[in-house]
Structure 1
Amino acid sequence: MTTLTLFSPAGAVQKADALKRAARRLTALGFEVSIDADALSRQQRFAGDDAARLAALHRIADAAPSVALASRGGYGLTRLLDQIDWARIAASVERGTRWVGYSDLTALQNGFIARHKGLAMWSGPLACDDFGRSEADGGVDEVTQDCFTEAMSGALEAVGFRAPSAEFDGLEARGRLWGGNLTVLCSLLGTPHWPKIKGGLLFLEDINEHPYRVERMLLQLQQAGVIDHQAAVLLGDFSGAAKTPNDRGYGLKDAIAALRARTKTPVLTGLPFGHVRTKVCLPVGGTVELYVQGREAILGWQSDPRLAHAAHHDHGPDCGDDCGHDHH
């Protein structure tokens, strides 16, 4: 039986029913689900005070379940980064724990891979947002669920997606996968929690950030020398921001064009990841290979993220069909 623990390292769970619904659905998928004792705690906007959330991280690391799935993101992990016993987290990963989440989990994931070159975590769904969504609100996305179960079983070795155009036809790139939420990632720049990765594949997404703010953060990374030293940049979803009269036609495409005009690093769009219903699972910190043929892109990796240094060569378009291909 694959053990799975639900925990809350950042923002407070707004509705307990969503977490309980997620637990039932994950149990139905074959996981042996437990809910951390403080998963529903609340202190201001946080899931308990800093000490409680830190203790939860360490408690789960020591227990080393097969899967540690965050209930939600929000904000809160930045407060804990200087206090986390990273060796305990690493020990759990070495024992087989797959830590999963996105959004604010970007801080935990990148702080971890900044310290542990051969280990990885997983960017993927959150319990409440994805598995706890009521049927009235659309229920669980099938692609997201399938990708998650395959990734947690070790069977997922690639995801496929379709780019808006064929401008990167023939592109091949290999490197360490890193990144996540753009705002959270930029907040780590210049801190000990920043992964100093060169030749990597950087993936980014965000929510409710106006395109000019997205552009400003992208250019910050470029001007800091980060983007110019990557093998490729993969952009996911950047939705949720309202247009304003000041835009006069300016939008996300213009923000991306501004970045592309300033770097030789390929910047691809269309990655099915972010604050959207359909999202893939990605091994943050693992070595991945990117292949683009026409508009079709495949991102592949070794199935065991603990073998992050070994590249995976035996994958094809069929590996991505259940995990985002033609869905974004």
Structure 2
Amino acid sequence: MMINFQGLKPGDKLRVIAPSGALREWERFEAGVKIWRSHGYNLEFTSGFDQVNGYLAGSDENRRQQLIEALTDETCRGILCARGGFGSTRLLEGWKWKNIAQISPVPKFLIGFSDITGLLWAFSNSPQIIGIHGPVVTTLASEPDWSIQRLFDGIETGFFEELQGEGWGGGSVLGRLFPANLTVATHLLGTAYQPDLTDSIIALEDVNEEPYRLDRMLTHWRMVGAFKGVRGIALGRFSRCEAEGNSNSFTLEEVLRDRLGDLGIPIVSNLPFGHEGSNAILPVGRVVHLDGKQGILSFSE
């Protein structure tokens, strides 16, 4: 249980917003809504969430307004992101409120992953926002039962079962957890919305990025000193990230081991979070324990 944790409970109102890509997977969306409602939650669709503007869910102004309406709603206990895609960082450009507490009068959850990394990281130091890296509405119904149960256990009780992966060594360490999509996080480096990663454990996943592109991003992290102060790295699923039609390419694992293996910190891979498979929820900013020998990511009381 997190200190001063105010969990959600059936009957709470949650607002659905689309801060990134346009919503097109309506059957999957409705299946996700059904799961939330079956657990007793009152979902309200924020005006404009169904708009389409190219690959975006409406204009920047529309998507930013959705977010602001959800944040300022005193009767809302949580914000559910409809889907990922691209667009969250466009909302941060020109953001006028330095402190999220200025517009969020009550603490509330923010749930999503992939492109939603932009919002999870931007609001990670606000006591008003409890960030949860986990399924968006359109992916929830594809989660296995244990992962769905983990979601509701986590948001209602603050308890998270440990996750088992493959340890690469490096001992064990405690640190604040910052889950992220690697591509989105890379493009936050050096901006006002990059959290302080000192004494952190970063948890990374991605999709549709060939090994050379992952190499390029991780090399950028190294060159700008972004790994300085990071205590450990938890690697989730990198879906469809193997090279296609290029026999000369490094494999995904070769790139990850080459770019991360010499950092001298605990690393655990193959953890069950990310795209196209089980996406176990991860609490943003929570102090966690990473065991690079046993391959375990566990969550402190």
TM interval, short-chain normalised: 0.7 to 0.9
- Which residue number in structure 2 is paired with residue 144 of structure 1? 147
Q: In the TM superposition, what whole-angstrom CA distance separates every residue of 1:226-281 from its partner, at most 9, and x where no partner exists?
A: 22421101111112135334343620111012123442122221221111231111
| 8 Å CA contact 1:172, 1:292 repeated in 2 | yes
Q: Which residue of 59, 64, 69 maps to 1:49?
A: 59
Q: 1:162 to 1:241 in 2, by over 3 A?
A: closer
Q: Shift of the alpha carbon at 1:29?
A: 1.7
1:238-253 to 2 correspondences below 5 Å: 238-248=238-248, 250-253=250-253
Counterparts of 1:277-292 in structure 2, within 5 Å, are: 277-291=277-291
- TM-aligned CA deviation for residue 293 of structure 1: 5.9
Matches within 5 A, 1:43-122: 43-64=53-74, 65-86=76-97, 89-90=100-101, 95-113=106-124, 116=126, 120-122=130-132
Residue 181 of structure 1: CA displacement?
Answer: 0.5
Q: What is the match of residue 270 of structure 2?
A: 270
- Which residue of the partner structure matches residue 298 of structure 1? 297
Distance 1:85 1:146 in 2: 37
Structure 1: 5+ residue stretches without partners: 132-138, 302-311, 313-328
1:11 aligns with 2:17: no
Quick one: distance in 2 between partners of 1:152 and 1:92? 22
Closer/same/farther in 2, CA of residues 87 and 31 from structure 1, 3 Å limit:
farther
| d(CA) in 1 for partners of 2:247, 2:70 | 46
Q: In the alignment, residue 168 of structure 1 is paired with which amino acid?
A: G
In structure 2, the residue matched to 1:20 is 30
SS state at 2:123 partner: helix
Q: Distance in 2 between matches of 1:205 and 1:40?
A: 27
Cα separation, partners in 2 of 1:201 and 1:73, compared to 1, 3 Å = same
Give the counterpart of 2:134 among 96, 102, 124.
Answer: 124
How many percent identity over aligned positions?
A: 25
- Write the distance in 2 (CA, Å) between the matches of 1:147 and 1:86: 33
Question: 1:188-267 residue pairs with structure 2 within 5 A?
Answer: 188-248=188-248, 250-267=250-267
Report the aligned-residue RMSD: 2.4
- Taking the aligned partners of 1:96 and 1:159, their CA distance within structure 2 comes to 26
Q: CA 1:227–1:94 in 2, change beyond 3 Å: closer, same or farther?
A: farther
Does the C-alpha gap of structure 1 residues 203 and 261 become closer, same or farther in structure 2, counting only changes over 3 Å? closer
Quote the Cα distance in structure 1 between the aligned partners of 2:200 and 2:242.
32
Partner SS, residue 90 of structure 2: helix
TM-score, normalising length: structure 1: 0.80
Q: What's the secondary structure of 1:104's corresponding residue?
A: helix
* Deviation (angstroms), 1:8: 0.5
What CA distance in whole angstroms lies between the structure 1 residues aligned with 2:128 and 2:63?
26
Residues 88-133 of structure 1, C-alpha deviations (whole Å, 9 max, x = no match): 74467772311000011111111122x53796411010101223xx
Structure 2 residue identity aligned to 1:219: T
Higher helix proportion (structure 1 or 2):
1
| Residues 117/98 of structure 1: CA separation in 2 closer, same or farther (3 Å cut) | closer
* 2: CA distance, partners of 1:197 / 1:118: 20
8 Å CA contact 1:119, 1:286 repeated in 2:
no
* CA distance in 2: counterparts of 1:52 and 1:207, whole angstroms: 27
* Conserved 8 A contact 2:19-2:67: yes
Residue of structure 2 equivalent to 1:326: none
Structure 2: how far apart are the matches of 1:103 and 1:244? 23
Mapped contact 1:58–1:89 kept (Cα < 8 A)? no
Tell me how far 1:215 sits from its aligned partner.
Answer: 1.8
Q: Which amino acid aligns with 1:11?
A: G
Structure 2 unaligned runs (5+)? 1-10
Greater CA drift, 151-160 or 51-60: 151-160
